[in-house]
């Protein structure tokens, strides 16, 4: 669902529906030059890809504001290639295709909470906490005496994500991983 609004009413965080897809207003600036008409210069971020574009609109030009519904949901389980979530308020279950989750699927474990942004019954963005705790499923054991400062080794986590961890991390350890970059933060 979308509503027509004026470019004079733009706010940071507002979601717009353009011909190319859904964009969030990152930044906007009203400009009134000495000559000519006023205009609004914006930076828009694509909700699906994260790409940022610059777009200029005439003052009081009509744009489509997309009504995006954000819901806190709990991840229950995987059903084949799909992920099943439960709405924390209504307890309704929602099945989401793996492709709609993007990189968030690398950090989802059962009972994890995520914020799903929905537009016209489609998941457009999955927001996770800044860091999550995950168990190390397998990694090479650290060798005694191998204490090179800053040395790293690959570790496969319970979700299948492979991250670089320090040598002292072993299989079965729980670690914190940054969900924005996918980097190891600390042992949990």
106-156 pLDDT, tens digit per residue, is 888 888 899 988 888 788 888 888 888 999 988 887 666 566 667 788 899
Q: What angle do CA 4, 9, 13 make, to 5 degrees?
A: 90
Class of CATH domain 2-66: mainly beta
Q: For position 147, what pLDDT does the model report?
A: 63
Q: Mean pLDDT throughout 87-112? A: 87
**Domain map of the chain by residue range?**
2-66, 69-127, 131-187
Query: Can you spell out the DSSP letters for the chain?
Result: -EEEEEGGG--TT-EEEETTEEEEEEEEEEE--SSS--EEEEEEEETTT--EEEEEEETT-EEEEE-PEEEEEEEEEEETTEEEEEETTT--EEEEEHHHHGGGGGG--TT-EEEEEEETTEEEEEE--SEEEEEEEEEPPPPTT---TT-EEEEEETTS-EEEEETT--TT-EEEEETTT--EEEE-
CATH superfamily of the 69-127 domain:
Nucleic acid-binding proteins (2.40.50.140)
Fold of the domain built from segment(s) 131-187: OB fold (Dihydrolipoamide Acetyltransferase, E2P) (2.40.50)
Residue % of the chain over a pLDDT of 90: 13
Express each pLDDT in 4-60 by its tens digit.
888 888 888 888 888 888 888 889 999 888 888 889 999 998 887 778 999 998 888
Check if 69-127 and 131-187 are the same fold: yes
């Amino acid at each position: 669902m979308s509503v027509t609004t004026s470019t004079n009413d733009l706010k940071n965080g507002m979601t717009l529906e353009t011909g190319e897809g859904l964009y969030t207003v990152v930044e906007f600036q009203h400009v009134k030059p000495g000559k000519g008409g006023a205009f609004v210069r914006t930076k828009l971020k694509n909700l699906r890809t994260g790409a940022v574009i610059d777009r200029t609109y005439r003052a009081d030009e009509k744009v489509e504001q997309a009504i995006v519904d954000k819901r806190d949901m709990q991840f229950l389980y995987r059903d084949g290639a799909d992920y099943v979530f439960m709405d924390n308020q209504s307890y309704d279950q929602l099945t989401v295709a793996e492709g709609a989750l993007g990189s968030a699927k690398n950090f989802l474990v059962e009972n994890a909470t995520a914020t799903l942004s929905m537009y016209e019954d489609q998941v457009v963005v999955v927001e996770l906490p800044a860091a999550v705790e995950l168990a190390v499923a397998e990694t090479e054991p650290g060798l005694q005496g191998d204490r090179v400062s800053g040395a790293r080794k690959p570790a496969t986590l319970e979700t299948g994500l492979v991250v670089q961890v320090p040598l002292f991390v072993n299989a079965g350890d729980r670690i914190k991983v940054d969900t924005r970059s996918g980097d190891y933060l600390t042992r949990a």
